Amino acid sequence: MAFMRMATFLAAPFFSACPVAANCLPPERPYLPSQTADARTYADLIRSDFEDYIAAIQEHFRCLDAERARAFAEAQEVSQDYGRFVAMIEH
């Protein structure tokens, strides 16, 4: 158990400073006015904000998918490293 706490402590700076995750920030939700008159007055601007959001959220999903794939591959490598470590200390 102490080993897990130490590993978590040592790994914390790497996870918090992960450059990939920093690029996967979700876009800000577009503003939708509650008044119909305001929506009509600013329809072009609001429509553009929604279209920008849709494009940005799709990019966000691609980023998350790429980060998930990267993390999965890394986890597989770490698991293999752990297997090699166990084999080294048992022989």
- Specify the pLDDT at position 9: 43
Residue 4 has pLDDT above 60, yes or no: no
CA-CA distances (angstroms) from residue 80 to 71, 77, 89?
14, 5, 15
How many distinct structural domains can be found in the chain? 1
pLDDT tens digit string along 7-40?
A: 444 454 444 445 544 489 999 999 999 999 999 9
Q: What is the pTM of this model?
A: 0.66
Give the per-residue pLDDT at 38.
97
Residue 77 sits in which domain range?
2-90
